[in-house]
Structure 1
Amino acid sequence: MIRVSWVSPEYGSLAGVNSLESRAINTRPAHPIQPAPSMSSHDAVRAGLAPLLGRLWRYGIVLSGSRDAAEDLVQATCLRALEKAHQFTPGTRLDRWLFTILHSIWLNEIRAARYRRGAGLVDAETALVFDGIKAIEANISAGQVLRRVQALPEAQRETVFLVYVEGLTYREAAETLGVPIGTVMSRLAGARTRLAGLNHDTAVREEDDDR
């Protein structure tokens, strides 16, 4: 298991997993986080990192299905982002840059170390946070959707998350995942077909339960 201290000499104490869960509000961001072009790369990353912790944790859950793996992914992503802050261009989307780092760490380090589903497994609804009375109904609905999304193959699951949950364009998702746009479109089409089948099966089961 990868263990990285949350305390960085450059950034200070970030947060533990409980704080990450409290930030993981399951709504598509209204406005992508784009630090001002006038900021230095390092300052832009430092300023924008903390507000994105919850979304990074949620992406880690989608990829790994494991609470511990998601925590490790966020920790490693934060430290990697600070180390490589000079590579970030202020004025561009920080969230997509961080998603790309997290995805790379997942593919090359954590998944490669066979850190997959098992101990610490958390389902989609557990990863959601109820942010007031008005959000309860929306969260329940999103939880049901994410539960079905978790049943998709990994490639389709991560693509659906980036496009439909995080609101990335096909091109942005393709660049984040390191695949052609056509692959993104193909994965989404396959996911829609699978989800339609899952919805049909669920409806049939519910109809049988009502009898």
Structure 2
Amino acid sequence: MAPRKLRKSDVLDELPALRRYALSLTRHAVDAEDLVHDTLVRAIERSSTFRSDGNLRGWLLSILHNLHVDGRRSGASAAGRDGEFAARTGENLPPNQFDNLRLAQVRRAFDLLPEQQREAMHLVTIEGLSYDEAAAVLGVPSGTVMSRISRGREALRRWESGPSLQLVKGGE
């Protein structure tokens, strides 16, 4: 006797049982539907392993169960890896909402500096250039760069200590 081939109608008859069991396992309708879908895909891929004298419902429920267990193991493993990664990289996480707001305020104050002060401060404090390197980029003496940075820093200190932004307009 030749092995019985899986028939679409036989598998469709088992969908209600598969859905019920999947919902019982996942307790979430969308996850249950995904699990049933994955079960059907696996059953098609492995249809040659189904014994003709076997219990189709039991075989399908077994596939569903194993997929669920594998998914939970994989999910738990991923959650563990994510937790370890978060613990190791906590210092590198994006700033919290307060820090984001504070950074935006400082950035706004920096942007309100006169252009020449802002350019000099950016080159030295953000890009890490020396005063001489920044002077070469800007085409001015290094003393001028130092003066612009000094005035820019003073304006930011005034902003930091006062309720309103008190930036000095002007370039040099």
Q: TM-score, length-normalised on structure 1? A: 0.33
Q: TM-score, length-normalised on structure 2? A: 0.40
Larger helix proportion of the pair: 2
Greater Cα radius of gyration, structure 1 or 2: 2
